[in-house]
Chains A and B, each alone.
Chain A
């Protein structure tokens, strides 16, 4: 009985998460009509963008357990892919987006090959250095515009160029598509062999190897996927801002966003990145707007306090809190079940 019940329960969880994703997408489809205010629409676009960024980081950092502070590099490569296509070649961004994402994957594999020989904190520290190196490189590289960056020419609003100056509807639809793509891919990986192998490597690399898992291969695959997704987000970011320059994209600040949103939401959980972004981004945008009179950096202070509170109270993030109250499954379903079992 336990067996049969378990099997059913398992498939239910699987199906429920897909349904949840569909529900979120349906909700996103009706929201714009309800708001209308351009600033709220802007915040919504940013939530979706940062949720996708955090989810792409979550592939490597959350599921596979390899903490990277280097994701702004891949984000930057993606942004420059789109930017170069638009500014240097005067064409639509799409080929540039693809080239940028592939380049980001290639670069990520090249730099993490040696870095994955380092374990635990040393891998994380090595990725800090990578951001510095690429930040400098982008600044002095004239072909891609050096420190001045790339300013987009004025163009007609269109899907071909993925540019809109009059309203946010196009960007919003694009952000929903990006979100659906990244979250859909992660959900699909989660239930497959790769997803299991990534979590096994996180929980115990040597154990995984003893079961026939080539951990280096798994980590590199996770890295390549993660970088590809981060680059797509970067391309969107460039299109959204009408420009790209090095400090905008390749910086420790930007890298930290990938990490902190995921930690706040819950590392290694499917919904964590969305929840983290849904809390942090409005906080950042609204405090920046409404508390500006208190001086610059108020949003940063609140941001920091929130992270400290989280680390002390519930290191598993918002998803951990929800699991505590038995609302949603936590990391890899198990935490939630445990909490669920405990509550009457």
Chain B
């Protein structure tokens, strides 16, 4: 049984369908990448899965339980935690205090919460910032704080919403190695990502959305050769030219 099952998920805002009949699975222990052009409904899908929105139709099942339309905090308690695309540090609190809020989910004891928080802070390379106010950090640190905080709730599945967006190339590499580390710790990861260098090398499976609907699903290799995906990203005209150019090259090679 897959850890997360999304079936026929549809989310409408008035007459605009941000998600149309999206279905896919996330297997335990996998890294699944969710990609698509701007406005293709990736974040909306995240919001529906994590409980921020109640989907118009469809069903989301987590570990065999129907979680469709459940409030976010209940879903988090079941072991599905998300991070936010636009970082949201609890600014007036220190990094440690931020992470402790997550750690307090499964224990009320202060010493144990600090212990858990410290582990997650270390995991995300934030030791240096431990006792500083989180609002004053760089974007790269804030993105890692999002991950540390989510990890502190000991989730089984983490939804990462564009964790590499807006980072320098070094920071992107750090983030990628961090995500791989999370997977090695036994976490399952569903990540929305724009940066192909971040998502393609580490994903076990990639799901592509365009215009709110799923247009492809497969291994990173399959996806990068999929014509419909190329068309969605480059537009009709350019993808036709690309195909023509490829054809010409093949003719010449013959």
Contact = CB atoms under 8 A, between A and B. Distances in A.
Interface string A145-187: 0000000000000000000000000000000000000000000
A211 B153 contact: yes
A6 B100 CA distance: 14
B122 to A, nearest CB: 8
A206 B88 contact: yes
Given A211-B81, A332-B93, A193 B72 contact: no
Given A206-B52, A210-B72, A331 B90 contact: no
B39 interface: no
A204 B90 contact: yes
Interface stretch (A52-60, A102-110, A212-220): A212-220
Contact of A203 (B73, B91, B131): B91
B163 to A, nearest CB: 14
Nearest to B50: A210
Interface footprint category on B: 35 or more
A209 interface: yes
Interface string A262-295: 0000001000000000000000000000000000
Nearest to A338: B133
A196 interface: yes
The main secondary structure of chain A at its interface with chain B is helix
Contacts of B96: 6, 10
B101 A210 contact: no
Contact of B101 (A3, A191, A208, A335): A208
Nearest to B91: A203
Contacts of A3: 118, 122, 127, 130
Q: Which of B71, B88, B97, B136 has the most CB of A within 10 A?
A: B97
Interface string B90-117: 1111101100111011001010011000
A211 B105 contact: yes
A337 B108 contact: no
Interface of A: 2-3, 6-7, 9-10, 191-193, 196-197, 199-200, 202-204, 206-215, 268, 331-335, 337-338
Interface of B: 50, 52, 71-73, 76-77, 81-84, 88-94, 96-97, 100-102, 104-105, 108, 110, 113-114, 118, 122, 127-128, 130-133, 136, 149-150, 152-153
